[in-house]
């Protein structure tokens, strides 16, 4: 019997809290953003079909913020989670999710259609939980979405990855003589700025309160705007970063820029 309970999802990364409100908390590797449920389907057939997987249109992971708690279903909630507000390419992301549905329809593959508009969120806990406790303890956090997976539901909120479409992380830390160093990826300067801000916010989440929509032109302006962001946060509540260094390197591979961001702390 090769039928499995399947769904397509994206990996989610965030500086998760060490302690959550009461509930059956999903383990960190099992937290994900579901793109769509396929339900019971023939796994070998789906794996064969995925050789023709549609191009998502984005090749670097997407930055976002958990901006509010969410409880589903609305009338009798069984899950507590956090809503995902994307900081970039939101329309492209939602168009990709719709294209996935159309693609499966064309291939005559059964899946569970969304009754309402697609709701980007990550389930954190299952019942029993106290809604008011979850609401009062919520704080906004940065996040990014990375690889797309075909997952098998194993029950008890555990999942097995059956297939992966790789997408580059928007940033990665690396060893350096400086206090902090990141490899920042993006296709345009605006993306580099968002992803660099996100990397800093992973170490100091309150920074997201000071992030604005900036479209820098060139690496020098990008660094200037990052240092302005740090200065604003430091002036209002203190910040662990001193500055982003102007001494850094930028390379380009295919259509992806990679910038080594060095941060003094």
Q: pLDDT truncated to tens, each residue of the chain (265 aa)?
A: 588 999 999 999 999 999 999 999 999 999 999 999 999 999 999 999 999 999 999 999 999 999 999 999 988 999 999 999 999 999 999 999 999 999 999 998 878 766 567 899 999 999 999 999 999 999 999 999 999 999 999 988 899 999 999 999 999 999 888 779 999 999 999 999 999 999 999 999 999 999 988 888 889 999 999 999 999 999 999 999 999 998 777 898 888 999 999 999 8
pLDDT at site 247: 79
pLDDT at site 249: 79
Please name every residue paired with 32 in a beta bridge, in sequence order, or none if there are none. 11
- Backbone dihedral angles phi then psi of residue 246, each to the nearest 5 degrees: -80, -10
Q: Enumerate domains of the chain plus CATH numbers.
A: 3-165 (3.90.1140.10), 171-264 (3.55.10.10)
- How far is the CA of 21 from the CAs of 120, 123, 244, in angstroms? 22, 13, 36
pLDDT at site 200: 98
pLDDT at site 116: 65
pLDDT at site 128: 95
User: Among 131, 163, 135, which Cα is nearest to 148's?
Assistant: 163
- Backbone dihedral angles phi then psi of residue 54, each to the nearest 5 degrees: -65, 145
Please name every residue paired with 253 in a beta bridge, in sequence order, or none if there are none. 256
Contact 142, 210 (CB under 8 A): no
CA distance 37 to 116: 14
Residue found by looking up tokens 């507000």 in the block: 85
> 262 CB contacts (<8 Å, ≥6 apart)?
176, 178, 180, 181, 244, 245, 247, 248
> 122 CB contacts (<8 Å, ≥6 apart)?
12, 31, 32, 33, 66, 81, 82, 84, 143
């Amino acid at each position: 019997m090769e039928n499995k309970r399947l769904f397509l999802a994206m990996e989610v990364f965030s500086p998760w809290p060490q302690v959550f409100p009461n509930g059956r908390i999903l383990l960190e590797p099992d937290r994900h953003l579901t793109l769509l449920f396929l339900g019971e389907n023939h796994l070998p057939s789906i794996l064969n079909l995925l050789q023709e997987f549609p191009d998502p249109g984005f090749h670097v992971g997407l930055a976002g913020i958990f901006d509010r708690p969410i409880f589903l279903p609305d009338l009798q909630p069984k899950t507590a989670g956090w809503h995902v507000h994307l900081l970039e390419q939101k329309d492209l992301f939602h168009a990709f999710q719709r294209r996935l549905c159309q693609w499966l329809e064309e291939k005559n593959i059964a899946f569970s259609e969304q009754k309402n508009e697609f709701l980007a969120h990550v389930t954190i806990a299952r019942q029993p939980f106290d809604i008011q406790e979850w609401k009062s303890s919520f704080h906004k956090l940065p996040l990014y979405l990375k690889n797309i997976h075909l997952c098998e539901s194993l029950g008890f909120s555990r999942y097995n990855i059956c297939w992966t479409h790789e997408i580059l992380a928007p940033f990665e830390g690396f060893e350096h003589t400086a206090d902090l160093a990141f490899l920042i990826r993006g296709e345009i300067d605006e993306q580099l700025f968002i992803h660099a801000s996100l990397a800093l916010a992973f170490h100091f989440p309150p920074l997201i309160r000071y992030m604005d929509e900036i479209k820098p032109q060139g690496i020098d302006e990008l660094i200037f705007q990052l240092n302005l962001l740090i200065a604003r946060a430091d002036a209002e509540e203190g910040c662990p970063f001193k500055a982003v260094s102007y001494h850094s390197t930028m390379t380009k591979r295919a259509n992806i820029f990679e910038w080594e961001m060095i941060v003094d702390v």
